[in-house]
Amino acid sequence: MPYSSPLLELPRAVAPPDHHPEAGVPWHWGDPFAEQRTAARSVAVVDRSHREVISVSGPERLSWLHLVISQHVTELPPDSGTEALVLDTHGRVESHMVLAHTAETVHLDTDPGAVATSALPKGGQQPLIGYLEAMKFWSQVDIRDTTADHALLTLLGPETGKILDALGISLGEAPYSVASFEGGFARRMPWPARNSVDLAVPRADLAAWWTRITDAGARPAGSWTYDALRVESLHARVGVDTDERTIPHEVNWIGSAAHVAKGCYRGQETVSKVHNVGRPPRQMVLLHLDGSPEITPETGDPVLLGEKTVGRVGSVIQHHELGPIALALLKRSAPTTEELLAGAGDRRIQATVDPDSVPAEKAAPGREAAARLRG
């Protein structure tokens, strides 16, 4: 059965629309823009308990993971984390995960329904944990689906430290610092905003932890708030901002989630080649959408220059300050200072690329056009 968070039963919790990528957790709590403002100025907590968790233990956990994911983790210290990908043989993104190394276990949390192409000759996609199991061979590792044990809550905002103090959690200031507590762990994240912290709490005690956190002063916020900050900070979500052709370079995952120097992982040849001798065919940018029509494009819709398709729409969100915005994959050859159209059919509206989201070699003045659309 599809997952449904127990927090959806609380007063004011609003579920997302049908088939929404964040189905199963509260979309907002009655005032999504006020929730976003709180996350930017104070502290808010978001239920992300629909994420799946895979735990890898055993004496060879780091050396084995190093061979099957895109990140360099052979020397990942305890009480630290990172991000990583699983790629197909052509270097195309299949799954994204965030790691937390606690004591003798590495926890990998992923978007719900994460998949990877089978390593077997017949291929075909399978759940991510199935791929990892197939790659185990004789390695001394134990791979377990611990989604039933851990539920993720995320704190957002400059007053996050106040909540951690109230919970009795001491966490380092460095990105991806990890601190264990009874039944779970905390992990500091550099996005979707500064002072973001993920809390993996015992799933059986999810409602109790939510009450502790909100009683300590965090405002309930929905996945709408998290996504608005994620889009603003140019962080992709697999299956929304990526398609079957996306490589890590196109969505800002080189370095943060894919290591360019280490070898021996699937798709590494593409990662290294594009990094060293070429440019990716597309780039992810932030679009400011015309807010005057009561319509917005949808994920997967085209981005057009005149009648020519030059890109693909990803996440679309209403931001409390920026208005309607979206992430989009644009062809690298597409001009980024001209007005574009985003959407299909009756959803087609004007869009302008935020110049701050364009790589330095292509950036050019364009803030005025973006301001016109927001106005």
* pLDDT reported for residue 278: 81
CATH number (domain holding residue 98) = 3.30.70.1400
Q: Please give the average per-residue pLDDT across 225-243, as a whole number.
A: 98
Among 115, 145, 175, the domain boundary falls at: 145
pLDDT given at position 372: 43
Mean pLDDT of 55-77: 97
Domain membership of residue 246 (yes or no) is no
Predicted pLDDT at 118: 85
Q: Are residues 92 and 26 in the same domain?
A: no
pLDDT of residue 277: 85
Is 256 within the bounds of a domain? no
- Kindly state whether residue 272 falls inside one of the protein's structural domains: no
Is residue 229 in a domain? Answer: yes
Say if 200 falls within a structural domain.
yes
For 291-326, write each residue's pLDDT tens digit.
988 899 999 999 999 999 999 999 999 999 999 999
Tell whether 20 and 41 lie within a shared domain.
Answer: yes
E runs forming strands in the chain: 44-47, 52-57, 80-87, 93-102, 105-110, 115-117, 125-127, 142-145, 150-156, 178-181, 184-189, 196-202, 219-221, 282-289, 302-305, 308-319, 323-331, 340-342, 349-353
Q: Which domain holds residue 111?
A: 53-145
pLDDT average, residue stretch 50-75: 97
Instruction: Give pTM, 2 decimals.
Output: 0.94
User: Are 47 and 152 contained in the same domain?
Assistant: yes
**Other C-beta atoms lying within 10 Å of the C-beta of residue 345:** 8
| Shared-domain flag, residues 201 and 343 | no
pLDDT of res. 51: 98
Position with higher pLDDT, 268 vs 123 = 268
- Asked if the model's pLDDT at residue 370 lies above 70, the reply is no
Q: Is 196 helix (H, G, I), strand (E, B) or coil?
A: strand
**Cis? peptide before 21, omega within 30° of 0:** no
251 falls within a domain: no
Q: What is the largest CA-CA distance in the chain?
A: 61
**Domain shared by 306 and 334, yes or no:** yes
**Residue predicted with more confidence, 211 or 193:** 211
Domain presence at residue 316: yes
Which pLDDT score, from 0 to 100, does residue 58 have? 98
For residues 275-282, average pLDDT: 90
In contact, 165 and 203? CB cutoff 8 Å: no
CA 29 to the chain's CA centroid: 21
Point out the domain boundary residue: 194, 218, 233.
Answer: 233
pLDDT (0 to 100) of residue 226: 98
| pLDDT beyond 80 at 271 | yes
135-164 pLDDT, tens digit each: 999 999 999 999 999 999 999 999 999 999
Q: What is the pLDDT of residues 87-100, one digit of tens each?
A: 999 999 999 999 99
> Which of 86, 111, 145 is the last residue in one of the domains?
145
% the chain with pLDDT above 70: 96
Residues 94 and 161 in one domain: no
Does residue 373 have a pLDDT over 80? Answer: no
**Helix, coil or strand: residue 70:** coil
Range 233-245 average pLDDT: 97
The mean-pLDDT minimum among 202-211, 266-275, 363-372 falls in 363-372
- From 252, 251, 370, select the one nearest 321 (Cα to Cα): 370
Are 154 and 19 in the same domain?
yes
Average pLDDT, the chain: 94
User: The CATH number of the domain where 200 resides is what?
Assistant: 3.30.1360.120
Residues 76 and 123 in one domain: yes
What confidence tier does 57 reach under pLDDT thresholds 50, 70, 90?
very high
Q: How many residues does the chain have?
A: 375
Q: pLDDT (tens digit, 9 = 90+) per residue, 335-367?
A: 999 999 999 999 999 999 999 999 765 444 344
Cα–Cα distance, 311 to 282 (Å, whole number): 8
**So what's the pLDDT on residue 365?**
39
* Mean pLDDT along residues 11-17: 97
Contact criterion met (CB below 8 Å) for 27 and 15: yes
The whole-number pLDDT of residue 361 equals 58
Specify the number of domains making up the chain. Answer: 3
In this prediction, residue 369 carries a pLDDT of 41
CATH number at residue 293: 2.40.30.110
Residue 260 in any domain: the answer is: no
Give the pLDDT score at 123: 74
